């Protein structure tokens, strides 16, 4: 027998010898043969492996989806930042353009003041009477009399002569109509309180009073016939003034030319009159009432009216009437130029004027 510590290392431990190459190869070959042999798994082990694979696949799908969402969020953020940068650049460009326009306007204004002179503001001189005038600053909302006395809330209208009197400065016919209505309402209430049944004679008497109140009598002011019911030769200066006020017509230097009230007073050529009826113009518009008589007299006209008021027909009708009086253009007079020229600021407006002219020249020989 060997005593401990007598062999091996000086401290008594056995020295581990490393495996040789042949032993390593032999061990590896045995391991490969062991792995190559079929291994039978139990049902529980197979289920555990299948569950593990599904978990790994699900984890892979979730990781792919998370990566896709991250990429989409990154792309959306980049797109939003790009749009914000583009919007900021557009606003800065607009601000710079607006600033340049303002500077250009200021420069032009300075040039205009330098060469034409600026408008000097007149210093307002306050009169002594206005300076020391007492200003009674009182608002109607501050009226407290209605709170003090309830009678102010129900004002009573005075009936002069028990409803038969008249107030000065107010139309007598309107006052009579109002008095007749008050009287009829009062009689109706009294009859209802007394139990009296309204008969046909009572109703006829009430209608007669209403008709009598609606008419002017000898004491009323003399009311003339309206201008729309008068013939042309009976129109007075007052009628023409009312007519211009009704249609908001105003002149400046019109050479005493009266407007037209209807198409018959324009004395248009028969083909143009037929075209006006064909187009469907029942009555002339205010700009046509004022400008057509001036155009038929071949006077210079500058008409101002709103869009859609009939300005095209206002100058086309006199133009066609003038052309109809001229000789037919042929080789002998074609060099003299056209009979009329129409200038329009836009192509669309020129097309509209052409369509209107073709309609109004339907019964003429114009091409």
Q: Give the residue among 226, 221, 225 at the shortest CA–CA distance from 171.
A: 221
Alpha-carbon Rg of the chain, whole angstroms?
53
In 3-state terms, the chain is what percent helix, strand and coil (to 5)? 60, 0, 40
Can you tell me the distance from the alpha carbon of 16 to that of 31, in angstroms, rounded to the nearest whole number? 23
Can you tell me the distance from the alpha carbon of 199 to that of 203, in angstroms, rounded to the nearest whole number? 6
The per-residue pLDDT for 1 is 43
Q: How many CB atoms lie within 10 A of CB 295?
A: 20
Contact assessment for residue 294 and residue 254, using Cβ atoms and an 8 Å cutoff: yes
The per-residue pLDDT for 101 is 92
Can you tell me the distance from the alpha carbon of 304 to that of 311, in angstroms, rounded to the nearest whole number? 8
Alpha-helical regions (H) of 237-346? 237-246, 270-279, 286-296, 311-324
Q: What is the DSSP string of 113-141?
A: HHHH---PPPPPPPPHHHHT-------GG
Q: How far is CA 180 from CA 72, 202, 214, 335, 344, in A?
A: 85, 14, 10, 77, 61
The per-residue pLDDT for 43 is 84
Alpha-helical regions (H) of 280-341? 286-296, 311-324
Q: How many residues does the chain have?
A: 367
The per-residue pLDDT for 138 is 64
Instruction: Label residues 129-148 b or e (16+ Cβ within 10 Å = b).
Output: eeeeeeeeeeeeeeeeeeee
The per-residue pLDDT for 186 is 85
3-state secondary structure of 350: helix
Can you tell me the distance from the alpha carbon of 297 to that of 292, in angstroms, rounded to the nearest whole number? 9
Q: What is the pLDDT along the chain (367 residues), one digit of tens a residue?
A: 444 444 455 555 566 677 777 888 888 888 887 777 776 778 888 888 889 989 999 999 999 999 999 999 999 999 999 999 999 999 999 999 999 999 999 888 888 887 776 666 677 777 766 666 666 666 666 666 656 666 666 666 666 666 667 777 777 778 888 888 888 888 888 888 888 888 888 888 888 888 888 776 666 555 567 888 889 988 988 889 999 999 999 888 766 889 999 999 999 999 999 999 999 999 999 999 999 999 999 889 999 998 888 999 999 999 999 999 888 888 888 888 788 999 999 999 999 999 999 999 999 888 7
Q: Give the residue among 292, 304, 305 at the shortest CA–CA distance from 260.
A: 292
């Amino acid at each position: 027998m060997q005593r401990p510590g007598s062999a091996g290392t000086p401290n008594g431990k056995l020295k581990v010898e490393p495996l040789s190459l042949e032993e390593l190869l032999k061990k590896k070959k045995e391991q490969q043969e062991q792995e190559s042999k079929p291994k039978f798994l139990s049902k529980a082990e197979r289920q555990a492996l299948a569950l593990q694979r599904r978990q790994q696949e699900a984890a892979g799908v979730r990781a792919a989806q998370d990566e896709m969402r991250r990429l989409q969020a990154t792309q959306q953020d980049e797109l939003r930042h790009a749009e914000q940068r583009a919007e900021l650049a557009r606003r800065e460009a607009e601000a710079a353009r607006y600033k340049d326009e303002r500077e250009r306007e200021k420069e032009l204004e300075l040039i205009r003041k330098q060469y034409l002179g600026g408008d000097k503001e007149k210093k307002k001189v306050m009169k002594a009477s206005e300076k020391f005038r007492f200003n009674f600053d009182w608002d109607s909302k501050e009226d407290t009399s209605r709170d003090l006395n309830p009678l102010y809330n129900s004002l009573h209208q005075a009936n002069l002569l028990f409803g038969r009197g008249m107030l000065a400065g107010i139309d007598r016919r309107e006052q009579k109509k109002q008095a007749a209505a008050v009287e009829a309402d009062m009689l109706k209430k009294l009859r209802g309180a007394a139990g009296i049944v309204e008969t046909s004679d009572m109703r006829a008497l009430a209608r007669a009073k209403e008709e009598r109140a609606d008419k002017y009598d000898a004491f009323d002011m003399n009311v003339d016939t309206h201008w729309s019911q008068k013939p042309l030769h009976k129109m007075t200066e007052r009628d023409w003034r009312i007519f211009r006020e009704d249609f908001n017509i105003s002149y400046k230097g019109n050479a005493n030319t009266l407007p037209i009230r209807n198409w018959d007073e324009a004395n248009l050529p028969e083909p143009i009159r037929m075209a006006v009826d064909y187009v469907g113009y029942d009555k002339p518009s205010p700009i046509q009432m004022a400008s057509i008589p001036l155009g038929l007299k071949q006077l210079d006209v500058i008409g101002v009216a709103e869009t859609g008021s009939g300005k095209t027909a206002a100058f086309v009708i006199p133009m066609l009437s003038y052309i109809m009086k001229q000789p037919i253009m042929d080789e002998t007079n074609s060099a003299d130029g056209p009979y009329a020229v129409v200038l329009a600021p836009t192509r669309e407006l020129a097309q509209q004027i052409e369509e209107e002219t073709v309609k109004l020249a339907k019964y003429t020989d114009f091409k």
